[in-house]
A and B are shown apart, each in its own frame.
Chain A
């Protein structure tokens, strides 16, 4: 758990470190490439390709050969992109990590590298597609952390409308948990998710099977089985040495199938009119927790998403979208046995009022049992946020957000954050 914001290093050397690592990763992947075409920006820097800056246009034959990886689709095996999310701002609360609970949130007064993400996607063969996401984040202490955020394969050819996903992935619980920061409509993760799923949301290694049901409308049933222990499973097995609701997390062995995390989900969607769509779902996450052999946790969630888009939309604008999620937790501890119950929810409206511009408002609340020890992760809190975002193109955005935090154990706080996002290479296609 986070303590205080000690600035050991400035952000600049870290950008350098991140870039170097990303370049090294590229090189590891594409070292074998012998092609000489410059289609993807991220690709250029890492391989022995022609430099777009240094060679006259006429010297390059774009259709002559094929690259192994590019930022464009088509003549390649791999799509590659680098997303960078940086923010600057300040808060009336000096201990920003106790205020902003998410690991991709702004984490200090001044500048934060919220997320630098290298994503590789492509078809493995006729039976699988795969995604790998390697992430660089800056800890509140100013240390650089690099981790494999996701690595999974998805089947493409199973019968009976089934699809299996296997590997390390964000659990498909509700709407926001599985979304990477690029898709967020706000600078930070809602409190509800940091409280219920931990700073980096709920993700683990396992498999998920989903079934597209034979209804006339979209209707999907899925079940994920994942490992229940690890640092991204704070409501469940978590890591020995941590504490939840004031109870220490102990070392536990995995004895039977009951010691896995089970996540059933149902979602359906309806086109209410030609221009309005509603998507709703119900999820549960059931598994052991780390307080002892009899510790069990259940999470229940409902999510709702509605969007209106103009029939004459230019670059997708104008639109209005409304999104809400509510999550309830029942946490049964072992030794001594007791039951903690809490809940969290957020609701948000985003209005794309003109081409390239959105305005958003979000209300976010967490409450319930807090355990015996004051804990910023468990106090009763309400956050109100408003923001304005400008998208110069779909490859960049600038977002200005104001947060008001009403807190029960600590002082209320006011924060302002300015965020910049850039995307190099392929742009991920957006799901609904």
Chain B
């Protein structure tokens, strides 16, 4: 009994020393896209933890206990919402014992708030696949939504760290200037392909397509979250041949082999894209680099995919 008590005492004295110390705002982002936006505003002064890897499916992230520790010490957590993190974030928040991060708390930012979500289902019925009740959560692929979210993030960060607010605002105006500039470039790059149809694995590119006037309504998945079946792929191949669709987008965590199989039958090009900074080489924590890579890869594929 005495030994166990002395061990406990020793632990109590030692443990606080092991804890991390650090200044600046501590922010946890569920996915790397929000992390990139926070990095653009906060720079290196903000300590940043990311839960999902850029290369993994954001719907299915492991609730690793280390995330509980990050959340416990966080001033701010940014989530997409619209049920993207419903399968893994709630037990982490509960385990974190950080009341500021509870829904409605000062440290909880819902990324989708203020964004007009597309694909809000008229009827919820799981026989239609894994549909999101509140709408499609992949909204940051529209750069204008990235602007909305970044402005809201800046407000939240300013409230929690007023001293750094002037620098946050300065970074925000730089971000907005760059965004305006790049928007012109991206729009110009994709303008020649206005109205073109692209095939995507999952319904991830809805917002991107809407912004740049492309059509992205053909999916390798028969229904959201349901793996591609041979009959469905056959119908996709038929449709591609009929309408001349020649570009298939895949992300790092989606089956490239399936896309290649469809491409072999249709002569289409498989294009590696990603919705998360870091998922493509040289795009870590950089939203603009990511969108540059996505836009140029898609424009190149559409350009090279004219009628033969």
Contacts and interface: CB of A to CB of B under 8 A. Distances in A.
A72 B270 CA distance: 35
Interface stretch (A157-165, A229-237, A336-344): A157-165
A157 B254 contact: no
A271 B66 contact: yes
Contact of B62 (A163, A312, A394, A432): A432
A218 interface: yes
A393 B130 contact: yes
Given A71-B124, A313-B56, A394-B87, A158 B62 contact: no
Contact of B225 (A123, A158, A315): A315
Interface stretch (A13-21, A85-93, A207-215): A207-215
A404 B134 CA distance: 48
A216 interface: yes
A256 interface: no
B170 interface: no
A158 B124 CA distance: 37
Nearest to B124: A39
A395 B120 contact: no
A307 B88 CA distance: 16
Interface in A252-286: 269-271, 274, 277, 279
Given A311-B55, A312-B55, A429-B91, A216 B83 contact: no
Nearest to B227: A355
Given A312-B252, A316-B57, A429 B97 contact: no
Nearest to B60: A316
B163 interface: no
A95 interface: no
B63 A72 contact: no
Given A74-B83, A126-B102, A432 B124 contact: no
Contact of A216 (B11, B69, B89, B103): B69
Given A73-B86, A277-B65, A214 B253 contact: no
Nearest to B122: A57
Contacts of B226: 393
Given A62-B123, A156-B102, A430 B57 contact: no
A277 B62 contact: yes
Interface string A18-46: 00000000000000000000111100000
B239 to A, nearest CB: 24
Nearest to A219: B15
Interface residues of B, number: 52
Contacts of B255: 314, 355
B250 to A, nearest CB: 11
Nearest to A313: B56
A8 interface: no
B84 to A, nearest CB: 11
A212 B68 contact: yes
A219 B12 CA distance: 12
Q: Which residue among B18, B72, B97 has the maximum number of chain A CB atoms within 10 Å of its CB?
A: B97
B94 A156 contact: yes
B87 A427 contact: yes
A415 interface: no
Contacts of A162: 97
B20 A216 contact: yes
A374 to B, nearest CB: 39
A269 B62 CA distance: 13
A213 B97 CA distance: 11
A60 interface: yes
B192 interface: no
Contacts of B253: 312-314
Nearest to B68: A218
Interface string A323-359: 0000000000000000000000000000000011000
Interface of B: 11, 15-16, 18-20, 53, 55-57, 59-60, 62-66, 68-69, 72, 83, 86-91, 94-97, 99, 102-103, 120-126, 129-130, 133-134, 225-227, 252-255
Interface of A: 38-41, 52, 57-58, 60, 62-63, 70-74, 123, 126, 129, 154, 156-158, 161-163, 212-219, 269-271, 274, 277, 279, 307, 309-316, 355-356, 393-395, 427, 429-432
5 contacts: A39-B124, A157-B102, A311-B53, A355-B227, A431-B63
